[in-house]
Amino acid sequence: RRGLKDVWSLGAPPSGWAACSCPTPSWEAWQCGATANEDVPTARSNHAAAACGGHLLVFGGWSAGGDVPLAHPELLHLETRCWTHCSTHNAPPPPRGNPSLAYSPARHLAVLYGGWDGSKRFDDVWCLDMEAWRWHRAATACDGPSPRTDHAAVLWDAGGGDERLL
């Protein structure tokens, strides 16, 4: 079975991350519930996740059997440890596994890039406005990176309100 639906937390050493170049793992399996008896989280693998304020946003990935790409986002409220479907006011990006996801706290926006659906690699950029709960496809330049999957991305605050997806 490929897809799982568990959540683990790795705690910092007692003296903090900065004091230790290689921490001794302190893993904790989180017991998470669901809001209103929803069937969440969906068992999945090769998904993208980003901490978005007090939530963990999960998008895409492959079904438990590893054969169906997923498109529905789900949210874990980090304080209560309760999952819920992330209901948006419009359709999500096409289903995909292996994308990257980053979060802009300044704009309250999640940025999704790339991935693949089993036959096509994507080079598209989608933004989820986490106040309006709407997906927007970002304009793409023809001189951007080639379609990709199995990559990582971070959102870098370059200063002066300039954020860059790296």
In tens, the pLDDT along 55-87 reads 999 999 999 999 999 998 999 999 999 999 988
Reduce the DSSP state of residue 72 to 3 states and report it.
coil
Cα-Cα-Cα-Cα dihedral sign, residues 16, 17, 21, 22:
positive
Beta strand ranges found along 123-166 (DSSP E)? 125-129, 134-137, 155-157, 163-165
Q: DSSP string covering 111-133, please? A: EEE--B-SS-B---EEEEETTTT
pTM over cut 0.85:
yes
pLDDT band at 11 (very low <50, low <70, confident <90, very high): confident
What are all long-range contacts of 155-158, with beta carbons under 8 Å and residues at least 24 apart? 155/102, 155/103, 155/104, 155/111, 157/106
